[in-house]
Amino acid sequence: MTVSLLGAADIRRLAADLDVTPTKKLGQNFVVDANTVRKIVQAARVQPSERVVEIGPGLGSLTLAILETGASVTAVEIDHRLAARLPQTALERGVPEGALTVVDADALRVTSLPGEPTVLVANLPYNVSVPVLLHFLETFPYLQRGVVMVQAEVAERLAAQPGSKIYGAPSVKAAWYGPWKLSGTVSRQVFWPVPNVDSLLVGFHRDPEPRGSEQERRRTFEIVDAAFNQRRKMLRQALSGVFGSSAQASTVLESAGVAPTARGEDLTVDDYHRIALVAPVS
């Protein structure tokens, strides 16, 4: 099987055919460089036997690079015109019938994925990248690992460790599912249109066993949100609303082995989980 990838001229021709002008609202910055899409697929170590889910396939640049490995793809695209055209592009470019399934839907709302993919590979729409990642990890337990291209600040935040300035609620929530690691840089020039932000690749591996139950996860995330809503405050104060008063918050924190004078950015996901286990109900 030989799949031919899309170049800059192909992308512009396809967009013109479909009368598509990339919109900021949908974060439409299409990759026009074959080396870049291959680099993303290599970083994800996609194997021919695997099924990959791609969020926002757009005109198909990255989709074809994933399919080139022999893997199957489930692609979720919100823009109807792009979703409708993708199967034809795949066939024209040498992809065998049946290797690609397109889901015409908002990725933030999908609740099942055909083929139960185990790998996520995407150049994510920047305005929804964190919510869409958390939605996928929460909703699809069969997703084992992934590599995504996101705005540089978002990638750094997802991979951040406690104590750093950029460590925030997304860092803790992402870590609930497993470790995250930066895995490559991408030039702005590979996109059409050229975005006004830098991009980075970031990868994750889901832990073999879930860290806790769904109820524990919800409670942990509630505490994380409260802690980072007032990140400059000490936890006994920032969590006073969640636990009724700052005295009660201090008691809970001490029982969990966390100093009441610590700040949200000092705590690991394990610390937050322990706090949730000490005080499980709101």
* Closer residue to ligand SAM, CB minimum distance, 79 or 271: 79
- Nearest approach, Cβ of residue 31 and ligand SAM (Å): 4
Q: What are phi and psi of 23, to 5 degrees?
A: -110, 145
- Nearest approach, Cβ of residue 224 and ligand SAM (Å): 24
- Nearest approach, Cβ of residue 179 and ligand SAM (Å): 25
- Contact (Cβ atoms closer than 8 angstroms) between residue 3 and residue 94: yes
In the DSSP assignment, the letter for residue 211 is S
| Identity of the amino acid at 29 | N
Three-state DSSP state, 103: strand
Nearest residue to ligand SAM, using CB? 56
* Closer residue to ligand SAM, CB minimum distance, 77 or 271: 77
Q: Which residues of 248-262 are buried (b: 16+ CB within 10 A; e: fewer)?
A: ebbbbbeebebebeb
- Nearest approach, Cβ of residue 75 and ligand SAM (Å): 8
* Closer residue to ligand SAM, CB minimum distance, 31 or 137: 31
* Closer residue to ligand SAM, CB minimum distance, 28 or 220: 28
- Nearest approach, Cβ of residue 69 and ligand SAM (Å): 16
- Nearest approach, Cβ of residue 104 and ligand SAM (Å): 9
Assigned token pair, 274:
């322990």
* Closer residue to ligand SAM, CB minimum distance, 127 or 213: 127
CB proximity list for 217: less than 8 A, separation 6 or greater? 138, 176, 211
Positions that interact with ligand SAM (CB under 6 A): 26-31, 55-58, 61-62, 76-79, 82, 106-108, 123, 125, 128
* Closer residue to ligand SAM, CB minimum distance, 146 or 264: 146
Strand (E) or helix (H) holding 76: strand 72-77
Q: What share of the chain is helix, strand, coil (3-state, %, to 5)?
A: 45, 15, 40
CB proximity list for 147: less than 8 A, separation 6 or greater? 40, 43, 44, 120, 121, 183, 201, 202, 203
CA–CA separation, 204 and 1 (whole Å): 30
